[in-house]
Amino acid sequence: MAVNETVTGLGCTAQNIGAINLGIVCLQQRSRKHERTRVYLAKLIIKNFRKLKHAEFLFQAGLNVLVGGNNVGKTAVVDALRALLAGHDEPYPRLGEDDVHRPKGGTSSGDIVFEYVFSGLSLDDEADFLAALVPGTSGGLEAHIKIRYSDADKAGRLRVKRWCGENEDVGLTADMMENLRGVYLPPLRDASQGLKPGRTSQLARLLQLLADDAGIEGINKALQELDGKLKAHLPIVNTHEAINSRHKTMLGPQLAQLLEVGLSASDFKSLKSRVSLLVDAFEIEQNGLGFNNLVYMAVVLSELTRNPDSCYCGLIVEEPEAHLHPQLQAVLLRYLQSIQLIETEKPVQLFVTSHSPNFASIADLDSLVCLVDTGTAVETFLPRSVVFGKGKREKLERYLDVTRAELFFARRVIFVEGAAELMMVNALAKRIGFDLRQHGVSLISVEGLNFDSFLPLFGEAALKIPVAVLTDADPVPPKAESKADAVVVAGTPLLVSTVESAGASEEEEADEDTEPVYPAPGDAITVSANTAKMKGCEDTYVKVFYGLKTFEYDLALEASNRAAMLKALADLHPRIAKALTVAVDMEVGDSAKAKALFRGMFERPKNNVQKGSFAQALAQVISDDKIGFTVPAYLEAAIKHACQLAAFPKP
């Protein structure tokens, strides 16, 4: 019989025959050498589901950490995964009309659709998913599965349809479903309940998987011998006689039953449903929630990595940080990243959703999957897709501590150079009527000029959120051939630099011994090469802001600010403040006064005033609204850019 006739006889449509024939040909042509299965969910597409109008997720074979702020759709992703991978230990999620995506200001309509693409299939996997095979972009075969929720019933519950391959008529078979094993660990879970003895407990399942015929026979024999020995002990004998004699007296010899007192688990089948874990000689219920969650995860992973019945195993963990302090979060994440390296075990694909900057700061950038609300839609971003300059990715990974990892959860960001700006910007924002916290702005210091390690993560091709970069102009004396290019528009210095300076490296710029420049308001300036480079990173979302020189100098250019700055200095160094007050008063013009104040604090022959300490004192001074203080225009523009409420237009 021809292949087409055979396939048609099995109930497949003609439209699907091509894909099946392709799979058969590939199976015939390729080697039948045994392969360790490495099948993994490579792509998930979610359409019209809750916050997600259309979202595409590209996953890697090992650990995938989904991060993002509240209400961006992380739980929706989890439920989309469960819609296919549940069923073994829990029911599939039931979706209703309220789960259909509702656009802002509109009404919900259409079907919910989930599309799954599995890659890395071995020959055996391809045979198991024959009807689902579709040629992949890389030349191999992929298994494509789709689920649609539509046609709500009278109760508002949506009907579900599952199919595979390229044709909706090819239903997902029970065998295929059995080959997809997933375990879901919800947030705020009580792991001790899952570790209690029972016929279907994770512990019982693991015990069954690890037992062979010889082991089961040995346990049965040991239990029978123990049962026999126990029955010979006097307390057991007396108990048995007391119950048995009473029973016979009650019912008589004709109705009395044969009673025995002994072990309730006298064979392996009974034992596995009664076995329990002890932790440091205590019952599991007496152990802490955090450690119990780690124990439960160990049991689940042990069972998944040894499960011979499923070609794919996935573990979905929602908010594992709920019961773990930061140190244990780090320990757990490092372990989850390492388990894929164990060659003797079946790979398990891991999906972790987290609100924890600890997870984001420790996780490898390749494992992060970011969800971001752009104001018009929720979109996805993969940090691993960013092309960093030489050494910039490594620098970013070193700098991503808990504080800076907040950027993966931020809705708006202001980047600053160091501690002084970090302490002052929030106080300056309040001066012009903005509360950064209420606007959801994350204030992040890069500790120097390391903006170019962070900025690739933002913009039109990355995380689409408002980003303001506050940096110093660090002006340099313009070269003779570039003086004609120095211009001023509306009193704001434009970026001016020669081709050589714009292309200079940070090291080259640092090596240049240039005369300090102290520009006056309205002066045209030539900014440093680093500032010029940062300005070149601008797009719709990312904007770079700078003044005439440095943060402190620009503050001192405002006449009303110098009194507040001297007051803050007096709190730290009264003698220096007294001397500088006289020196500043003797100068004429804002730039001369600003230069005197700036140099008297930060360019002293020795014992410079610490910028961080001064900023902290100044922030305290200007917190009093009675103290006059003017926020420089470039700082105000940066704050307003980060705090803007209007959604960005599509680039």
Tokens standing for residue 586: 């003797």
Backbone angles phi, psi at 59, to 5 degrees: -105, 160
Residue 12 has pLDDT above 80, yes or no: no
- List own/partner pairs for 360-365 with CB under 8 A and 24 or more apart: 360/65, 360/67, 360/400, 360/405, 360/408, 360/409, 361/400, 361/401, 361/402, 361/404, 361/405, 362/329, 362/330, 362/333, 362/334, 363/63, 363/65, 363/333, 363/337, 364/63, 364/337, 365/393, 365/396, 365/397
Q: Which residues sit opposite 57 in a β-bridge?
A: 44
CA distances for 48 relative to 43, 52, 104, 115, 531, angstroms: 17, 6, 13, 12, 43
The angle at the Cα of 530, spanning 528 to 536, to the nearest 5 degrees, equals 105
Share of the chain above pLDDT 90, in %: 39
The angle at the Cα of 164, spanning 160 to 170, to the nearest 5 degrees, equals 85
Residue 37 has pLDDT above 70, yes or no: no
Q: Which of 14-28, 186-200, 501-515 has the lowest mean pLDDT?
A: 14-28
State the CB neighbour count (10 A cutoff) for residue 18: 12
What is the three-class DSSP state of 236? helix
**Nearest to residue 632, comparing CAs of 532, 560, 537?**
560
pTM of the model: 0.80
Tokens standing for residue 305: 């990595």
Output 175 or 289, whichever has higher pLDDT.
175
- Crossing angle of helices 419-431 and 611-622, in 10° steps, is 10
What is the per-residue DSSP string for 154-204? TTSBPEEEEEETT-TTSBPPHHHHHTEEEEEE-TT--HHHHTS--TT-HHH
CA 375 to CA 370: how far, in whole Å? 15
What amino acid occupies position 314?
G
For residue 449, count CB atoms less than 10 angstroms from its CB and return exposed for 0-12, middle for 13-18, buried for 19 or more.
Answer: buried
Q: Please give the pLDDT value at position 25.
A: 41
Q: Please give the pLDDT value at position 512.
A: 53
For the chain, domain boundaries: 197-275
Q: What is the pLDDT of residues 128-159, one digit of tens each?
A: 999 999 998 877 899 999 999 998 888 889 99
Residue 164 has pLDDT above 70, yes or no: yes
Contact (CB, 8 A) for 649 and 540: yes
Backbone angles phi, psi at 11, to 5 degrees: 100, 5
CA 58 to CA 76: how far, in whole Å? 16
Compute CA 217 distance to the chain's CA centroid, rounded to the nearest angstrom: 47
What is the three-class DSSP state of 291? helix
Residue 23 has pLDDT above 60, yes or no: no
Q: What is the pLDDT of residues 178-224, one digit of tens each?
A: 899 898 988 877 777 777 888 777 788 888 888 888 988 898 888 88
For residue 386, count CB atoms less than 10 angstroms from its CB and return exposed for 0-12, middle for 13-18, buried for 19 or more.
Answer: middle
CA distances for 207 relative to 220, 339, 590, angstroms: 14, 21, 80
The angle at the Cα of 180, spanning 178 to 183, to the nearest 5 degrees, equals 105
Q: Give the single-character DSSP code of 268.
A: H
- Binned at pLDDT 50, 70 and 90, residue 410 comes out as confident
Q: What is the pLDDT of residues 279-327, one digit of tens each?
A: 887 777 777 777 888 888 888 888 888 877 788 999 999 988 877 888 8
Which residues touch 232 (CB under 8 Å, ≥6 apart)? none
Contact (CB, 8 A) for 397 and 367: no
Q: Which residues sit opposite 314 in a β-bridge?
A: 182, 349
Residue 33 has pLDDT above 50, yes or no: no
Q: What is the pLDDT of residues 555-598, one digit of tens each?
A: 999 999 999 999 999 999 999 999 999 999 999 999 999 999 99
Backbone angles phi, psi at 523, to 5 degrees: -70, 145
Which residues touch 265 (CB under 8 Å, ≥6 apart)? 223, 271, 273, 274
Backbone angles phi, psi at 624, to 5 degrees: -85, 110
Tokens standing for residue 49: 């589901």
Computed from CA positions of residues 9, 12, 15, 20, in that sequence, does the dihedral angle turn out positive or negative?
Answer: negative
Residue 646 has pLDDT above 80, yes or no: no
For residue 438, count CB atoms less than 10 angstroms from its CB and return exposed for 0-12, middle for 13-18, buried for 19 or more.
Answer: exposed
For residue 414, count CB atoms less than 10 angstroms from its CB and return exposed for 0-12, middle for 13-18, buried for 19 or more.
Answer: buried
CA 40 to CA 182: how far, in whole Å? 12
What amino acid occupies position 83?
A
Q: What is the pLDDT of residues 92-102, one digit of tens each?
A: 889 999 999 99
Residue with the two structure tokens 């105000």: 636
CA 400 to CA 474: how far, in whole Å? 26
CA 492 to CA 554: how far, in whole Å? 12
Write out the H or E segment, with its range, that includes residue 57: strand 52-58
Q: Please give the pLDDT value at position 380.
A: 92
Calculate mean pLDDT across residues 458-468.
Answer: 92
Contact (CB, 8 A) for 632 and 622: no
Q: What is the pLDDT of residues 335-374, one digit of tens each?
A: 888 876 666 778 899 999 988 888 888 888 899 999 988 8
Residue with the two structure tokens 């090596």: 511
**Nearest to residue 472, comparing CAs of 644, 642, 638?**
638
Q: Please give the pLDDT value at position 13.
A: 45
Residue 507 has pLDDT above 80, yes or no: no
Q: Please give the pLDDT value at position 340.
A: 67
Q: Which of 8-22, 119-133, 516-530, 598-612 has the lowest mean pLDDT?
A: 8-22
Q: Locate the DSSP E strands across 242-281.
A: 278-279
Residue 4 has pLDDT above 50, yes or no: no
Q: Which of 92-106, 251-265, 431-445, 490-504 has the lowest mean pLDDT?
A: 490-504
- List own/partner pairs for 234-237 with CB under 8 A and 24 or more apart: 236/261, 236/262
For residue 269, count CB atoms less than 10 angstroms from its CB and return exposed for 0-12, middle for 13-18, buried for 19 or more.
Answer: middle
Q: Name the range with the highest mean pLDDT among 55-69, 399-413, 475-489.
A: 55-69
Per DSSP, the chain holds a count of helices (H) and strands (E) of 25, 20
Which residues touch 233 (CB under 8 Å, ≥6 apart)? none
CA 200 to CA 212: how far, in whole Å? 19
Q: What is the pLDDT of residues 238-253, one digit of tens each?
A: 888 888 888 888 888 8
CA 536 to CA 357: how far, in whole Å? 29
Q: Give the single-character DSSP code of 259.
A: -
Tallying the residues shown for the chain, one arrives at 651
Output the average pLDDT for the chain. Answer: 83
- For 380, what's the count of Cα atoms within 13 Å in the CB-facing half-sphere? 22
Q: Please give the pLDDT value at position 334.
A: 84
Calculate mean pLDDT across residues 269-277.
Answer: 83
* β-strand pairing of 312-318 with 180-185: parallel
CA 367 to CA 354: how far, in whole Å? 12
Helices in 418-528 by DSSP H: which ranges?
419-431, 451-454, 499-502, 506-511
What is the three-class DSSP state of 434? coil
Output 7 or 36, whichever has higher pLDDT.
36
